[in-house]
Amino acid sequence: MTATSSTFDIVEYYTGLINDDPSISPPVAAVGSLVRLIELQHATTMLEFMMITRSACDKLKSATHQSISLSAGCDVFLKQMSRLSHTQSVEECRAALIRAGTEFVQNAGR
């Protein structure tokens, strides 16, 4: 994990999203938090990229009380990551996940 991403606290970021916008659902806040994580981390291999993201999902799931709905957001994100990882480089996968996750979060509020 890079110095930038090692200082990123995904639980704190997730909690901030929920507190700043009470209408945001836990799955949407989870996806938004994971997008921010991958914007900050710069893994060089797909395995490292996936391990960092899975570890963040596990941290979110264990630190919150909304585990079912939050897990759904994490699981959707991880499934998309897994699908993309088979056909793209780390950088292409990162960019595609940021695009899709950002779009998901923006469209969820409509």
Q: What value does the mean pLDDT of the chain take?
A: 89
Q: What's residue 3's pLDDT?
A: 37
Residue 1 has pLDDT above 50, yes or no: no
Residue 15 has pLDDT above 60, yes or no: yes
What average pLDDT does this structure show over 63-76?
87
User: Are 12 and 52 contacting, i.e. CB atoms less than 8 angstroms apart?
Assistant: no
CA–CA gap between residue 78 and residue 53 (Å, rounded) = 8
Residue 2 has pLDDT above 60, yes or no: no
- The tokens describing 83, both together, are 């699908």
Q: What's residue 67's pLDDT?
A: 77
* In the block, residue with structure tokens 């088979």: 86
Amino acid at 9: D
User: Are 90 and 49 contacting, i.e. CB atoms less than 8 angstroms apart?
Assistant: yes
Residue 14 has pLDDT above 60, yes or no: yes
Q: Torsion angle of alpha carbons 72, 44, 41, 51, nearest 10°?
A: 30
